[in-house]
A and B are shown apart, each in its own frame.
Chain A
Amino acid sequence: MSSTEKIKRTPLYAAHLEWGAKMVAFGGWEMPVVYSSILEEHAAVRERVGLFDISHMGEVLVAGPNAEAVLNHLLTNDVRKIAVGQAQYTLLCNEQGGVIDDLIVYRIEATVYLLVINAANIEKDFSWMNAQASAAVVLENESDKTAGLALQGPNAAKLLGHEGGIVHFHIERQSVFGKECWVARTGYTGEDGFEILCGAGDVTELWSELLRRGAEFGIKPCGLGARDTLRLEMCYPLHGNEMNEETTPLEADLGKFVAFGKGDFIGRAALAEQKEKGVTRKLIAFTMTEKSPPPRTHYPIMTAGRDACATKRIGEVTSGTQSPTLGIGIGMGYVETKSAAIGSKIGIEIRGKTYAATIEKKPLLERGK
């Protein structure tokens, strides 16, 4: 973000301060990183229920008879696979197959789609979609008038009174405590839960109401710190860390979200060629196998071994943390494809010392939904 751009605040800014949040800049937004303790907020989501402000995320409506065709040209996954009320994870790529953004597309009516995009990419995605739309279509950036909350954790459904309600990865228009919302059974934590999109003017009341009614379910307001540790245990990629316009979905191990069979789309030729030749690097997940400082973004990934002269650099960490659930260091990163096999011993270089780690199957934490 350039210094001339003003940092944005969500409608919940005052509520965050009231709840004692530490605020940080994230993707051009001033967001809560932690209220009391990342470890406690993380545990609340894994064991009970947590509430996140996701108003910074972007919402774009794509509508009209050509919406399906336009989206299938813009996005890598096949929107024809989803019925009304269903959600799909997908990628927005450039001609080189680089990832402009990752997003969830919700089919809310037969010819109306709601795209939820990353906060830092709203303007970029919206101009790209306008410039690249292959046919006449209505494109509306609803981001400013839309706010959002993520209610995540095993008690989320009980709190919303939705135990037998919306099916996982589906969305419904519903009234939540008197406010008209889009309620989706999706999230970024690996737990059961909901993402609730509402009018910017309604979110403060919903926030207070959920925290009030959630008290008996052990609810906690949760910040970006816990959001990051939760998603990392699940190996959900974060745009800007695990992928950017110089990495492809195939390198990021997201090949199953690229529908080569659906016909042409932006990036298809480059991705098809890369698939044919094979990727030279691959996104892997790892856990530390000895006591070490937490792995962090940009730390070198090395071949296994203590002796600095005998090991060589094979990649770089894209995200890392101390896993609150597992109590050990975990992370993701890119390594040369020939070194990317699950079970391989690797090293993570931290302040000049190499610590032992193992490449693991994703996700690092199994959750029954």
Chain B
Amino acid sequence: MSIPKNLKYAKTHEWVRVDGNVAVVGITDHAQQELTDIVYVELPSVGAQVEATKESAVVESVKAASDIYAPVSGEIVAANEELSSAPELVNEDPYGKGWLFKVKMSDHAELDELLSPDDYSHHIGA
């Protein structure tokens, strides 16, 4: 189970990589293993506003649809277009090519609400 040290985590199994004002968001290795076989990803449009802890995307495996919650609030500045033709990248490379969207953060303080790698590891009982 991979939990990179340079990321922050939401209890709902999203990760965040902070890059200045922008937060790159994806789902964790644990989450992709639980979901298995991702076949469809529905992402927010560029320009849309997302709110921390609210549904902002949907990841669908063969067996179920799962809501993805925005870990931070702000404006969507990019969505991973590659997932439209290759949703399996979320399984294959959840912290890399399988990223979901980028948010221009409106409130940096929200980052403090997220879990450290150690806390996330504890959270999933790893």
Residues of A within 8 A of B (CB): 22, 33-34, 37-39, 225, 228-229, 291-294, 296, 321-322, 324, 351
Contact = CB atoms under 8 A, between A and B. Distances in A.
Contacts of B84: 291
A294 B39 contact: yes
A37 B36 CA distance: 6
Contacts of A322: 39-40, 60, 62
Contacts of A34: 36-37, 63
B65 A293 contact: yes
A293 B37 contact: no
B85 to A, nearest CB: 9
Could you say which of B34, B40, B63, B84 has the most chain A C-beta atoms within 10 Å of its C-beta?
Answer: B63
A38 B36 contact: yes
A267 to B, nearest CB: 33
Contacts of B65: 293-294, 296
B42 A293 contact: yes
A34 B40 CA distance: 19
Nearest to A292: B40
Interface string B26-38: 0000000010110
Contact of A321 (B34, B42, B58, B62): B62
Given A225-B63, A293-B42, A296-B65, A37 B37 contact: yes
Interface string B50-71: 0000000010111111000000
A322 B36 CA distance: 13
Contact of A38 (B40, B60, B63): B63
A296 B65 CA distance: 9
Given A228-B63, A291-B84, 10 more contacts: A22-B36, A33-B63, A34-B36, A38-B63, A294-B40, A294-B60, A294-B62, A294-B65, A322-B60, A351-B42
A229 B61 CA distance: 12
A38 B36 CA distance: 8
B62 A225 contact: yes
A214 to B, nearest CB: 22
Nearest to B85: A291
A225 B34 CA distance: 13
A38 B62 CA distance: 7
Contacts of A294: 39-40, 60, 62, 65
